[in-house]
Every structure is written in structure tokens, then in C-alpha cells.
């Protein structure tokens, strides 16, 4: 069972573009948390099986984005195998 706050974070991440204004302002207004805490929660939830069950499309999108970022970093630093 996921805590309500984690569900709210996932719900927000799945539809943040619907909120008016900048994302960091919407995070503060909707979730009452700082952007730093929000992204900390998102990074933790990416690998959480309960989060995948609750919001599979959002979690898969976040995992894909993370993999793409890591691949870009690896290419830039020459650590690609």
C-alpha cells in the first residue's frame, strides 16, 4: 500500500502540464512541498514496484527518460561499452 503523498506525487507527475504556470510553482501549490523534495520522491518512486502498479505509464516514462539521460552522459564521458 502506497502512502497518499506518493500517490499524489505520481498523479501530479502524470499530468503536471495541465497546471498553470511553472512546474515548480505547481509543485508547491498542489503538493505543498519543495521542488527538491518532489524530485527526491520521484527518484525513489521510479524503482518502486507499488508505484509501477499504481501508475504504470508514468513510471515507464520516467524510467525511459532516466535511461536516455544516463546513455547521453555515458556517450559524453566516453564510458559507453
* 55 contacts: CB under 8 Å, gap ≥ 6: 10, 11, 13, 14
Q: What is the pLDDT of residues 15-29, one digit of tens each?
A: 988 888 899 999 999
Give domain limits for the chain.
Answer: 4-77
Distance CA 36, CA 74 (A): 25
- DSSP characters over 19-78: SSS-HHHHIIIII-S-HHHHHHHHHHHTT-HHHHHH-HHHHHHHHHHHHHHHHHHHHHHT
pTM of the model: 0.84
Digit-by-digit pLDDT tens for the chain (81 residues) are: 899 999 999 999 999 888 888 999 999 999 999 999 999 999 999 999 999 999 999 999 999 999 999 999 999 888 765
Pull the grid cell for residue 19: 497546471
Amino acid at each position: 500500500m502506497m502512502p497518499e503523498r506518493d500517490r499524489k506525487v505520481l498523479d501530479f507527475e502524470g499530468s503536471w502540464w495541465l497546471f498553470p504556470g511553472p512546474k515548480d510553482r505547481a509543485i508547491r501549490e498542489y503538493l505543498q512541498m519543495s521542488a527538491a523534495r518532489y524530485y527526491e520522491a520521484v527518484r525513489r518512486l521510479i524503482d518502486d514496484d507499488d508505484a509501477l502498479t499504481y501508475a504504470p505509464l508514468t513510471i515507464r516514462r520516467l524510467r525511459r527518460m532516466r535511461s536516455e539521460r544516463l546513455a547521453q552522459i555515458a556517450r559524453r564521458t566516453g564510458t559507453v561499452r
